[in-house]
Amino acid sequence: MRTDKLLRAERSTRTGPVQKGPVRTVSGCGKAMFNSVQRRHVALAHPGPGRLIVYRMGPIIMPTSPQAARCPRLTTRCLLKWTILSRERGVGRRVTAAQIQSHVRERRLERGLAQSELARRAGLTRQSISAIEAGQYVPNTLVAIRLAQSLNCSVEDLFGLPSRPARASIELVAGQAPGTRRLALAQVADRWVGYPLSAGRELQLGFVGADALLGDVTSPDDLLCLTSPERVERTAVLLGCDPGLGILGARLGLRSPDVRVLWLSASSQAALGAVASGNAHVAGIHLPDPRSGTYNLLFGRQALARTGGLVVEFARWEQGFVVSPGNPKSITRVDDLVRTDVRMVNREPGSGSRAFLDALLTHGGLPTELIAGYQRTVTSHVAAAAAVAGGGGDVAVALRATALALGLEFVPLGEVRFDFIIPRAHVDHPAVAGLLELLNSGALRAELGALPGYDATRTGSVHLDLAAEHGS
């Protein structure tokens, strides 16, 4: 069936039956749900093979989290491949104040388009484009999507809420830390206080809260539940080793408090194994292809070959040697690891850092037997850096961000890409859907990008979208 087939429905003025405009559909999308600007107005999408039907009870429909994320194409940049056509009664509503910030003009000029050309592509008038760029109109969702599609960007890139002016006075606790942009804020009495996230504050090693307690450790049937069944059903398990996943979980909790991503630290191979065995929803990995040197796609294809699914980028970061302040052993190259005066702290087998190091050793023709401490392993980037900080070794392989957080030196060796591997069956899970939507959040990208050595400019990019095997 053609994916651009137009579907129409009868229009009604009653609150039971709802009006529907013509909708251009996309094949293969799962169930989706929308809410309109007014919460009492609900619209549902009921897709069949090759079609999407949108019901609505109000003039403006906006996707919300996490229900709007039930289709992966809606929750990633691929949303902009959708084209939704409706009976247009106007571009939105006129405003007299800066209720929304428009970046349409900047994007249009970046692409060298005149207002008339953008209007033609989006199916609008030039006057409408001018009014939107001037901030005189707040566009409805359909118009915003069409503009974003025409400019090859996300809706969030075009429109946003005005930034709240910064408080006139924020008192920094212990002063401003050099090189630190990230602050934790709270109001204490009538003052805003800011804690620079540095000097170890940005890394917290604490206990993970339990959802249940075993009465008998040998019997899973003897269970005391501490979390409601509804909460468990709306929890997605994410396994991975990137310390930045803590930020992801915290932001998702603020954005969508009715869902939860349970992040548990695990090596890349362990995370893949848990997803393959059906014990986790998402695997976070950074594994290089030994032949091509590219990251994660080989392993993503293998893991998703039967079930289908997505490989979605989380972040890129610098990986290298973590050494003591001042680098007293002058460790700058992989060859230095075989020196008799150098002790190493290694990562466990199956971790991306171990694979990264082994690839460098193989390329340099360096046998692991000559490296003191090669068999001494820890199970996270933070633990590797902490071992060096505590004098347990002279060097470890970890992230720049973890090295600087513990006051250590960093010797860069390369850039690593950390991706999420998500089986097709889990894409519609409410927590996974909320995660995918969050990956396109400007706030998340900004915070990840503020971490030393992190690059979040391509966060949310879909590098692989595999269909499930027939009959699987």
Cα–Cα distance, 426 to 414 (Å, whole number): 32
Q: Residue 359: enclosing H or E segment and its boundaries?
A: helix 352-364
What the chain holds in terms of domains, given with CATH numbers, is 1-87 (no CATH), 229-472 (3.40.190.290)
400 by DSSP, 3-state: which?
helix
Confidence at residue 179, expressed as pLDDT on a 0 to 100 scale: 64
Let me know if 43 is exposed, middle or buried by CB neighbors in 10 A (0-12, 13-18, 19+): buried
Residue type, 144: A
**Residues 334 and 455 sit within 8 Å (Cβ to Cβ):** no
Instruction: Answer whether 0.85 is exceeded by the pTM.
Output: no
Tokens of 372: 């003191």
Read out DSSP for 159-223? Answer: EEPPPPPPPS-EEETT-PPTT---EEEEEETTEEEEEES-TTTT----PPPPSEEEEETTEEEEE
Note the pLDDT of residue 134: 82
Q: Which residues pair with 378 in a beta bridge?
A: 347
Smallest Cα–Cα separation from 187: which of 167, 164, 165? 167
Residue 378 to residue 46: CA distance in whole angstroms: 49
Per the CB < 8 A criterion, the answer to whether 54 and 27 are in contact is no
CA distance 269 to 469: 23
- Spell out the per-residue pLDDT of the chain, length 472, in tens: 333 333 333 333 333 333 334 433 333 333 333 333 333 333 333 333 333 333 333 333 333 333 333 443 333 333 333 333 333 344 555 554 456 788 899 889 888 899 999 999 999 998 889 888 887 788 888 888 889 889 988 888 888 776 555 545 777 766 555 666 777 777 766 667 776 766 555 666 678 788 888 777 666 667 788 888 888 888 999 999 999 999 999 999 998 899 999 898 899 999 999 999 888 999 999 999 988 889 999 999 999 999 999 999 999 999 999 999 999 999 999 999 999 999 999 999 999 999 999 999 999 999 999 999 999 999 999 999 999 999 999 999 999 999 999 999 999 999 999 999 999 999 999 999 999 999 998 899 999 999 999 999 999 999 999 998 755 5
Phi, psi of 372 (to 5 degrees): -70, 120
d(CA 290, CA 168): 53
**CA nearest 455: which of 422, 421, 414?**
414
Q: How far is CA 70 from CA 30, 82, 425, 435, in A?
A: 7, 15, 11, 11
What pLDDT, on a 0 to 100 scale, did the predictor assign at position 53? 35
